């Protein structure tokens, strides 16, 4: 990754991008625009990531067999909903056409020592996601803070069937960090399973993307990062990707996610 050109990194990041709109003011018009922006002259983003209430609309816009997947969030952003309520969110999202479920683990309960709450939630949602629906688990690492907690949460999520482990909701003060990424990527390697990694929140430039991709390639292998094992959760990153691919200067999106 260190030797790759900016254009190469940009093209790779585009193919791994979960183009996101989880703003509280999101509208149907914004979702239509998001779907359109996910399909660029240089290729498609891996997915869009949106509120559950917009999944059916996005499916209608993108079509049934779209190369752009539809990801949605559940137990989001608090992580505090009861399991039954989360399962209802999952079932409705899948019925509406979601390809991927991004689940916030009950991280506050976990921080008080309740590991079982995480196991029960992740396992229940995994069983509610029929294959090939992908389950990503959001650990909210900026709130967990402690390396041991991040490590433990990563291993629990993997053991209970997560397809990806994801850093953050993008709704707290500290979101994706290279330190958290290092811990999570190492846990994936230790698990021996094919599990993906998704940094989310604060990845705004191709230079940022390079740092995460280089870390993943170092911990795993140079050919490990691909859309099936690595995603960026971002709203502003696409602007900088396109600027690089179009050989122009641009200020990357200043959005929080």
The tokens describing 199, both together, are 């940094």
Per-residue pLDDT reduced to its tens digit, 242-252: 999 999 976 54
pTM of the predicted protein model: 0.96
Q: At what angle do helices 115-128 and 83-96 cross, to 10 degrees?
A: 30
Q: What pLDDT score was predicted for residue 3?
A: 85
The tokens describing 25, both together, are 């003011």
Helix H, strand E, coil C: the string for the chain is CCCCCHHHHHHHHHHCEEEEECCCCCCHHHHHHHHHHCEECCEECCEEEECHHHHHHHHHHHCCCCCCEEEEEECCCCCCCCHHHHHHHHHHHHHHCCCEEEEECCHHHHHCCCHHHHHHHHHHHHHHCCCCCEEEEECCHHHHCCHHHHHHHHHHHHHCCCCEEECCCCCCCCCCCHHHHHHHHHHHHHHCCCCEEECECCCCCHHHHHHHHHHHHHHCCCCCCCCCCECEEECCHHHHHHHHHCCCCCCCCCCCC
Give yes or no for a contact between 178 and 169, defined as CB atoms under 8 angstroms apart. no
Q: What pLDDT score was predicted for residue 249?
A: 79
Other Cβ atoms within 10 Å of 146 Cβ, number = 11
Phi, psi values for residue 95, rounded to 5°:
-65, -35
Give CA–CA dist 89/52, Å, rounded. Answer: 8
The tokens describing 110, both together, are 């976990």
Phi, psi values for residue 39, rounded to 5°:
-110, 100
Angle at Cα 80 formed by Cα 160 and Cα 185, nearest 5°? 40
**What is the distance in angstroms between the CA of the first residue and the CA of the last residue of the chain?**
24
Print pLDDT tens along the chain (257 aa). 778 999 999 999 999 999 999 999 999 999 999 999 999 999 999 999 999 999 999 999 999 999 999 999 999 999 999 999 999 999 999 999 999 999 999 999 999 999 999 999 999 999 999 999 999 999 999 999 999 999 999 999 999 999 999 999 999 999 999 999 999 999 999 999 999 999 999 999 999 999 999 999 999 999 999 999 999 999 999 999 999 999 997 654 445 57
The residues annotated as belonging to the active site are: 102, 166, 198
Give CA–CA dist 11/6, Å, rounded. Answer: 9
The tokens describing 4, both together, are 């790759």
**Domain 6-245 top-level CATH class:** alpha beta
- Domain chopping of the chain, boundaries: 6-245
Q: What pLDDT score was predicted for residue 252?
A: 47
Nearest of 163, 169, 165, 121 to residue 143 by alpha carbon:
169
Q: What pLDDT score was predicted for residue 14?
A: 98
Phi, psi values for residue 173, rounded to 5°:
-65, -40
């Amino acid at each position: 990754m260190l030797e790759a050109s900016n254009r190469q990194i940009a093209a790779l990041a585009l193919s791994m991008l979960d183009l996101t709109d989880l703003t509280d003011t999101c509208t149907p018009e914004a979702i239509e625009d998001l779907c359109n922006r996910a399909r660029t002259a240089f290729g498609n983003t891996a997915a869009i990531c949106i509120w559950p209430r917009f999944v059916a609309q996005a499916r209608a816009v993108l079509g049934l067999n779209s190369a752009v997947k539809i990801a949605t969030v559940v137990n989001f952003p608090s992580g505090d909903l009861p399991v039954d309520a989360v399962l209802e969110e999952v079932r409705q999202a899948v019925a509406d056409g979601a390809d991927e479920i991004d689940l916030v683990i009950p991280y506050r309960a976990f921080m008080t020592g309740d590991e079982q709450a995480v196991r029960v939630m992740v396992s229940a949602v995994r069983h509610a996601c029929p294959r090939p629906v992908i389950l990503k688990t959001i650990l909210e690492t900026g709130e967990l803070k402690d390396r041991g907690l991040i490590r433990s949460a990563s291993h629990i999520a993997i053991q209970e069937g997560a397809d990806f482990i994801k850093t953050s909701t993008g709704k707290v003060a500290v979101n994706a960090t290279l330190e958290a990424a290092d811990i999570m990527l190492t846990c994936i390697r230790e698990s021996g399973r094919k599990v993906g990694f998704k940094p989310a929140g604060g990845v705004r430039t191709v230079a940022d993307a390079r740092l995460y991709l280089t870390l993943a390639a170092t911990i795993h292998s140079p050919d490990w990062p691909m859309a099936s094992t690595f995603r960026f959760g971002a709203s502003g990153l696409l602007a900088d990707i396109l600027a690089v691919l179009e050989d122009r200067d641009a200020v990357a999106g200043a959005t929080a996610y």
